[in-house]
C-alpha cells in the first residue's frame, strides 16, 4: 500500500484522559511561528489520549482545499497531486486512492470536523513540537526553518531528538536481520554492552531510556514491561529479551540469548544502535559492502500491528511483502558481488524513519521497498514509484523487470513523495506488486510461482542497474 506520508515527528501527548474527555486547558496550535485561529466551540483537544484538530483551519492555512460532503460525512483535502479523503467515524482514510490507517476516527463537533493530528503531520509534511508547559502544539513546514523554542513531543514514536517529560530517550523499535540487531531510539544514548555466561548471552543496557508508546504497538510488553523477540533461521541466536531493567536511572535492557559464545561489534549513530554478530574470534568478518560489494537494502513494507492493505479474501499486505523480501534476499545472497540487508526479516514493525536509518547506516547503494496495492475493485496491475530524480533510472529498470516477471497490467513508473523514497540519500524505489483489492491480482500475489518469478525479476533488475553480470 502506498504511503503518501511526509516527514513527521509522530507523537502522543503522554496524558491519558478517559472516555471522551477534553484537555484540562486550551490547546494552542502554532504554524511557523503564528497562532492558528481555531473555532471557539471546536478547538484542538485530547480525546482518548489522541490529539484531534480542526482540519479546515490547518489545511487552509497550508494552502489545501477542503470539501465537506454532508450526505456521506466525507471530508476531502486536496493540493497539487495529492488528495486525501476521510469519513467521519471510520479509522481508514484514502490518500490518492490508497488506504491509510488512522489512529483515531474523525469526528464532528459543533459543525467542525476534528481529525487526528498525527495523520495531518504525516500527510502534509510537517514537523511537530510539543511544549508541555504551555500545552502548545507547534507545526513547522519543512522549508520554514522555524524552531520557536519548543521541545519535541513526549512519547514520539518515530523521530530523532525527542524525549519524554523526564528527559528520557525513548526506545521506538527493534529488528533482527542478517545476524544484526537494530535498536531505534528517539535520541542519543550510550549503550553499555557486555557478555555473560551460563548460558551465553550479550547484554545491552541503555541508560536514561524508556519504552516509547509506539514500542508496545510493535512488540509485546507485559504489565511489568517485559517481552521478547523470537528469532528463527539464525542458529547463533534463539531469542532476544527486553525489559525496563531499572527505574533509577530508568534503563532499558536487551539480552541476546546465544547458542554459544559469540563475538560482536557495536555501532551507535543518529538514534540507531546496531549490534553486529557477524564476527568470528578476534577477527571480524568483512563489514557490509567490503571488497567493493554493492549494498542492497530490501524493505518489506508494514509489519506486526500494521497489516497494510487487506485483500478481498482477507489476505494481508504485510505477509506478501515479507514473503517477497525473503525470497529476494535468498537470491541476492547467491551473488558474490552483492551484500543484502533487510529492514525486517519477520513480522515486526519499524517506523518509516527507522527503515531509512538502516539504509543510511549500512551506506546502501540502492533501497527497494516492496508493497502491494489497494484501490477500487477494478484497479489492477503493477507500478513503481520514486521521488528524487537520481532514482529515476533505478525505477525505470526495476519496473521493466517487475512488469515482465509479474505478467500483470502495466500502470507505469510514477513520482510520489513517499517517506522511504524521499528521505533516503541513495537511489530508492517503491514497488507495488499488484492490487489486493482486485480478486484476480490477489489470487496471483499469494502463489509460489508468482512470488518466485517476481523475486527473480527484482534481482535481475538490481543486477542490471548495478552493472553486475
Catalytic positions, written as ranges:
432
Distance CA 169, CA 315 (A): 37
What is the DSSP track for 400-423? HHHHHHH---EEEEEE---HHHHS
C-alpha closest to that of 436 among 427, 449, 445: 445
Distance of CA 13 to the CA centre of its chain: 20
Count of positions (residues) in the chain:
469
Q: Is the peptide bond before 199 cis (omega within 30 degrees of 0)?
A: yes
The span from the CA of 324 to the CA of 330, in Å, is 10
Give DSSP secondary structure letters for 111-153.
Answer: TEEEEEHHHHHHHHTEEEEEETTTTEEEEEETTT---TTPPPP
Calculate the alpha carbon distances from 162 to 32, 98, 173, 197, 409 in Å: 19, 30, 14, 35, 44
Over the range 323-334, which residues count as b (16 or more CB within 10 Å of their CB) and which as e? Answer: bbbbbbbebbee
Q: Are 171 and 253 in contact (CB under 8 A)?
A: no
Number of C-beta neighbours around residue 166 at 10 A = 10
C-alpha Rg value of the chain to the nearest Å? 22
Element (H, E) at 465: helix 448-466
Q: How far apart are CA 304 and CA 208, in angstroms?
A: 27
Q: Any idea what DSSP says for residue 390? A: G
- Residue 408 makes CB contacts below 8 A (sequence gap 6+) with 380, 381, 382, 434, 441, 444
Farthest-apart Cα atoms in the chain, separation: 70
DSSP H helix total and E strand total for the chain? 9, 31
Sheet-wide strand order for 82-87: 65-69, 74-79, 82-87, 92-95, 98-101
Give strand pairing partners of 74: 69, 87
Q: Is 91 exposed, middle or buried (0-12, 13-18, 19+ CB in 10 A)?
A: middle
Amino acid at each position: 500500500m502506498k504511503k503518501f506520508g511526509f516527514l513527521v515527528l509522530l507523537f502522543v501527548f503522554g496524558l491519558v484522559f478517559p472516555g471522551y474527555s477534553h484537555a484540562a486547558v486550551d490547546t494552542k496550535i502554532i504554524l511557523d511561528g503564528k497562532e492558528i485561529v481555531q473555532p471557539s466551540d471546536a478547538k484542538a483537544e485530547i480525546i482518548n489520549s489522541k490529539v484531534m484538530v480542526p482540519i479546515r483551519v490547518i489545511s487552509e492555512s497550508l494552502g489545501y482545499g477542503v470539501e465537506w460532503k454532508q450526505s456521506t460525512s466525507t471530508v476531502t483535502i486536496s493540493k497539487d497531486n495529492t488528495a486525501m479523503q476521510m469519513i467521519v467515524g471510520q479509522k481508514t482514510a484514502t490518500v490518492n486512492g490508497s488506504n491509510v490507517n488512522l489512529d483515531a476516527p474523525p469526528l464532528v463537533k459543533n459543525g467542525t470536523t476534528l481529525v487526528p493530528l498525527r495523520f495531518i503531520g504525516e500527510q502534509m509534511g510537517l514537523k511537530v513540537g510539543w511544549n508541555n508547559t504551555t500545552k502548545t502544539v507547534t507545526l513547522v513546514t519543512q522549508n520554514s526553518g522555524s524552531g520557536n523554542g519548543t521541545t519535541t513531543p513526549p512519547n514520539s514514536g518515530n523521530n530523532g531528538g525527542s524525549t519524554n517529560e523526564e528527559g528520557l530517550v525513548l526506545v521506538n523499535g527493534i529488528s533482527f536481520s542478517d545476524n544484526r540487531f537494530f535498536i531505534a531510539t528517539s535520541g542519543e544514548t550510550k549503550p553499555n554492552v557486555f557478555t555473560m555466561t551460563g548460558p551465553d548471552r550479550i547484554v545491552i543496557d541503555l541508560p536514561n531510556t524508556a519504552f516509547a508508546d509506539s514500542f508496545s504497538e510493535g512488540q509485546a510488553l507485559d504489565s511489568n514491561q517485559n517481552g521478547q523477540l523470537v528469532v528463527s533461521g539464525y542458529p547463533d541466536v534463539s531469542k532476544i529479551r527486553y525489559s525496563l531493567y531499572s527505574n533509577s536511572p530508568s534503563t532499558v535492557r536487551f539480552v541476546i540469548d546465544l547458542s554459544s559464545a559469540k563475538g560482536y561489534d557495536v555501532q551507535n549513530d543518529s538514534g540507531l544502535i546496531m549490534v553486529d554478530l557477524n564476527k568470528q574470534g578476534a577477527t571480524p568478518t568483512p563489514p557490509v559492502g567490503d571488497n567493493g560489494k554493492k549494498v542492497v537494502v530490501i524493505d518489506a513494507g508494514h509489519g506486526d500491528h500494521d497489516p497494510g492493505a487487506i485483500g478481498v479474501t482477507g489476505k494481508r499486505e504485510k505477509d506478501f511483502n515479507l514473503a517477497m523480501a525473503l525470497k529476494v534476499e535468498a537470491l541476492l545472497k547467491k551473488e558474490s558481488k552483492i551484500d543484502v540487508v533487510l529492514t525486517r526479516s519477520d513480522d515486526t514493525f519499524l517506523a518509516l524513519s527507522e527503515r531509512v536509518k538502516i539504509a543510511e547506516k549500512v551506506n546502501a547503494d540502492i533501497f527497494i521497498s516492496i508493497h502491494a496495492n489497494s484501490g477500487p475493485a477494478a484497479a489492477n496491475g503493477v507500478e513503481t514509484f520514486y521521488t528524487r530524480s537520481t532514482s529515476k533510472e533505478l525505477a525505470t529498470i526495476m519496473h521493466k523487470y517487475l512488469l515482465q516477471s509479474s505478467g500483470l497490467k502495466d500502470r507505469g513508473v510514477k513520482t510520489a513523495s513517499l517517506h522511504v523514497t524521499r528521505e533516503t540519500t541513495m537511489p530508492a524505489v517503491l514497488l507495488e506488486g499488484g492490487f489486493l483489492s482486485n480478486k484476480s491480482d490477489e489470487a496471483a500475489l499469494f502463489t509460489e510461482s508468482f512470488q518466485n518469478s517476481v523475486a527473480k525479476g527484482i534481482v535481475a533488475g538490481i543486477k542490471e542497474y548495478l552493472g553486475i553480470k
